[in-house]
Structure 1
Amino acid sequence: MTVLRIVPNLAAPELDHLRAFYADLFDLEVVMDHGWIATLSSGKSALTQISIASEGGSGTPVPALSIEVDNVKEVYRRAKEAGHGIAYEMADEPWGVRRFFVKDPAGTLVNVLQHMK
C-alpha cells in the first residue's frame, strides 16, 4: 500500500476569503470548486509528508500547516502589504530554514518557510 497524497481540509464557514488568501499569497490556482469545498494547487508535485510536533520550534506553537516556498521574503512582503496577521516574525532558524507564521482569515496558523542553502 502506498499513500498517494495527503490533503489538509480547512474548515471555513465561507470559502471566498480563505480561497482568496491562499490563491493570492501563494499563487495557487483553484483546480476544483463544488461550492462547499474548493481545492487549490500550485501544479507541482511534492513528497507526501505528515509532521508530528510537540512545539513549532524556537518555542512557538505548532502551526496547522507548513508551506514551503522558493521565495519566503516575497511571501512575507505580500502578507504584510495585505495586512495579514503575522504571528511570528521572519527568522533564520538554527535547523536551516527561514520562516514566518501568518494567520489565515479563519485563524489557522501557517508556517511559511524556505530552506536556506
Structure 2
Amino acid sequence: MAVTRIIANLKAPDPMALAQFYKQVFDLDLPFDMGWIAFLTTDMTQKIELHTASQGGSGTDLPVISIGVDDLDATEAAVRAAGAEVVYGPVKETWGLRRFYFRDPAGNLVNVVDS
C-alpha cells in the first residue's frame, strides 16, 4: 500500500470565500466548487508529509496546516494585503526554519514556512 496524497480540510462558514482568500494569497487554482466544499490545487509536485505534534514549537499554538513557500517575505505581504492578521513572526527558529503564522478569515491558525 502506498499513500498517494494527504489533503487538509479547513473548516469555514463560507468555503468559497475562504477558497478565494487562499487562491489570492497563494496563487492557487480553484477547479472545483460544490458550495459546501471547494478544491484548491497547483500543478506542482509535492511530497507527502503528515506531522503529529503537541504544540507548534517555540511555545506557540499548533497550527491546523503548514504551507511551504519559495518567498516568505512576498507571501507575508500577500497575507497582509488580503487582510489577514500575522500573529507570529516572521522568525528564524532555532531549528533552522524561517516562518510566520497568520489567522485566515475563518480563524484557522496557519503556519507558513520558507521551503
TM-score by length of 1: 0.91
Structure 2, unpaired ranges of 5+: none
User: Is the aligned partner of 1:30 residue 2:30?
Assistant: yes
Amino acid at match of 2:81: E
The code of the aligned residue for 1:85 comes to: E
Match of 2:75 in 1: 75
Residue 35 of structure 1 deviates from its aligned partner by 2.2
Tell whether 2:115 aligns with 1:103.
Answer: no
In 2, Cα distance between equivalents of 1:65 and 1:57: 14
Spell out the pairing of 1:36-75 with structure 2 (5 A cutoff).
36-75=36-75
**Superposed, which structure 2 residues align to 1:78-97 within 5 Å?**
78-97=78-97
Instruction: Measure, in 2, the Cα distance between the counterparts of 1:14 and 1:80.
Output: 20
* Structure 1 runs not aligned, ≥5 long: none
Secondary structure of 2:24's counterpart equals helix
Tell me how far 1:12 sits from its aligned partner.
1.6
Query: 1:61 is paired with a residue of what secondary structure?
Result: coil
CA distance in structure 2 between the partners assigned to 1:112 and 1:90 by the alignment: 9
- String of CA shifts for 1:50-88, please: whole Å, max 9, x gaps: 111111111111100000000011010111223211111
1:67-115 C-alpha deviation (Å, 9 max, x unpaired)? 0000011010111223211111200112121110011111110000104
Q: Deviations over 1:1-32 (max 9, x none)?
A: 11111101112221232011110111111122
The answer as to whether partners of 2:101 and 2:110 remain within 8 angstroms in 1 is yes
Determine if contact 2:30/2:38 at 8 Å carries over to the other structure: yes
Count, aligned residues: 115
Runs of 4+ in 1 over 2 A off after TM superposition: none
